[in-house]
Amino acid sequence: MHKKIRLNHYLSNAGIASRRKADELIQSGVIEVNGKFVFKLGTVICTNDIVKFHGSRIKSKNKVYILLNKPKGFITTTRDQFNRKTVMNLIPFFFEYRIFPVGRLDYSTTGVLLLTNDGYLAEKMTHPKYHVKKIYHVSLNKKIKNEDLDKIRKGKIYLKEGKVKVIFINKKNNAKNQIEIGLYIGWNKVIKRIFKKLDYQVIRLDRINFGGLSKKNLKIGDWCFLNKEKIENITKT
């Protein structure tokens, strides 16, 4: 007897998208089940049904989890319309496993990046309701004032999305322009915007921890597979 499963969960397991994004795909009319386009959210299918995405059949794959220490000069996406280098160029076999980067680090930002074909974990790592911690090492163009650190620490910085709440912010090793900051929010370019608000320029941004994942002992541009224990620790948080 074949197992029944929600269509969005099936798409997530196949590495197409998170369940939330899969719902958007279903509603947009690009998913077929047994030769018929499906638009209804909550649709339940059998695991032996023929499911197609943009006309190509998809199947569930074994889950793959890769930790990359992202270098500068790479776009965090699976492909780029301007043919710029993407992080996928650093993982030679990704087409076979349909992995994708979880969240985004911009072109000049370095550090911890997770790539996977597990849509459920991707959603857990990026959706605001799960409060996944991110820690960054920030280098500024000048010495930061203690009063500006206090403004950030006390939540006195407002961006268009609302008040900025940080977990912690401290000078790193008492350096004048080196900051370590931890936060849950994942707003676009939030670190750079925080400091720009206070008239500083971020000259280097490095994510050193993402949901408990660290790039310790991983050279810039290198990657490694994550073991089952690492993944289980993430899903428990």
Two structure tokens written together for 129:
């309701």
HSE-CB at 224 with a 13 A cutoff on CA atoms is 14
What are the C-alpha distances in Å from 234 to residues 32, 99, 151, 158, 168? Answer: 33, 18, 31, 30, 21
CB 194 within 8 A of CB 119: no
Residues that are catalytic: 106
Q: 27: part of which helix (H) or strand (E)?
A: helix 19-28
CB 4 within 8 A of CB 45: yes
HSE-CB at 23 with a 13 A cutoff on CA atoms is 6
Length of the chain, please? 237
Q: Which residues are within 8 A (CB) of 175 and not within 5 positions of it... i.e. 6 or more apart?
A: none
Pairing between strand 65-70 and 110-116?
Answer: antiparallel
